[in-house]
Chain A
């Protein structure tokens, strides 16, 4: 059974509709890539899953439970951990405080997060706003892990980072995948890095999920049609 399932989801920002029918499923321990060009509804889909967008239509179930009526913090507590786009930490809090404020009991604790990102331990007392972009991204991932999620959602996790730092982040995500007890939904535009990690792919085009299948089946034609510039 899927951990997360979206069934014919539609959503709108006020009068302007953004999603016209999205189907998506993430299984236990599975890594799914959500792809598509800019403005096709990737971030809106994430907002619907995290309950940040009011009144979407269709059905969203998490662990068999319909979450379409839940407040956002309840959805997070069920085990949906979001790493938001643009490395959004609490910039006025220190690195340690960012992690501490989000902590919930479970397998992920300070030790485990520090093992994944040793840099966060070194920078513990520094304010999150003074970190480099890559370090802020590590903190955003660390913070989501501290909530002990069952599903980790990475929204454009490596956008705008230097190649070396990108590599570091992808290595960490690979480590998370290898541990096997976390489902991951990753939103990104670069196929090269996703290819190594994602099991399956869902492609959005103008607010509709137009293609889904295994990463291996993603042919050149499909790429050109939906992902090419």
Chain B
């Protein structure tokens, strides 16, 4: 058994070494797979803040993933066709600048999470799960029936968006962008978890009454965590859309919400690197087992059952020992 911090370092090293090897061996497809894993990991890190630290089992995080995706799709499609998004009362034009798209994705999904969170956090338990699921599905059906941006067929963006100084169409450079964002977000979430805010969030997850008697406003705390969580997943959605150069209502579907949740459960709930390991394993299984049979989800299901029943703390929990109490 090693310390969780050391295991995390090994995971980060693998995220550098595998794409580096793929670059050397000239296997761009492996780099694309790694990029998918890193983006899914980012979405999982977002959900983990709500689900793992906060105990808020959101089954509708596809709403933010899709929101980020459509933020990219709408802005880039207008830039592509040189048509403004709106002209009055003031002019808003499309853009193909990644930093601007990310900012829009973060803000719109944060606002969406604020709205959904404010309404759904009035409930708890299975009702919370159902309400969040319902919101996610609402957006799914809305985008299907919204012809302006492709409806059911989605939107194709022909050229990947731009990042100053980099060639984003080069797989390894785009991977680099995604990897750096993941590292930054992991760093920030780690800081957040160790701040009074994060500790109070975990305390309130454990026992709400104990938290309020030390003066913690549990409702506001959870709403803020939910908004940050949605914003991170929204950013992942924008990157995912850019990776595929395509967005469609599928990004809003409940399967995406379920997959993001699977990353966390596989890797380890409330573990900083849980979703990273979970997403990487998911992509690996999808690639390896998917090659054997199109019904590979059966095997995934079996693995998931095994982890839930026998491997407490997910993969991270099995491979490392607890560092300090709150990471347990």
Contact = CB atoms under 8 A, between A and B. Distances in A.
A76 B210 contact: no
Given A88-B210, A101-B200, A126 B325 contact: yes
A72 B213 contact: yes
Interface string B203-241: 100110111111111100000000000000000000000
B53 to A, nearest CB: 11
B48 to A, nearest CB: 15
Interface string A82-102: 101000111111100110111
A52 B212 contact: yes
Nearest to A96: B324
The dominant DSSP class at the A interface is mixed
A94 B326 contact: yes
A102 B215 contact: yes
A93 B215 contact: no
A103 interface: yes
A125 B218 CA distance: 25
B202 interface: yes
Given A73-B215, A102-B215, A104-B215, A52 B209 contact: yes
Nearest to A91: B206
Interface string A48-85: 00101000000000000000000111001100011010
B328 interface: yes
Interface in B56-82: none
B207 A73 contact: no
Interface residues of B, number: 23
Given A126-B325, A127-B325, A93 B203 contact: yes
A121 to B, nearest CB: 16
Interface in B116-162: none
B325 A103 contact: no
Nearest to B324: A94
Contacts of A27: none
For chain A, give the interface size range.
20 to 34
A92 B213 contact: no
Tell me which of B211, B218, B325 has the highest count of chain A C-beta atoms within 10 A of its own C-beta: B325
A129 B325 CA distance: 8
A37 B214 CA distance: 28
B206 A92 contact: yes
Tell me which of A77, A94, A104 has the highest count of chain B C-beta atoms within 10 A of its own C-beta: A94
A84 B210 contact: yes
A104 B325 CA distance: 22
Interface in A120-170: 125-130, 143-144, 146-147
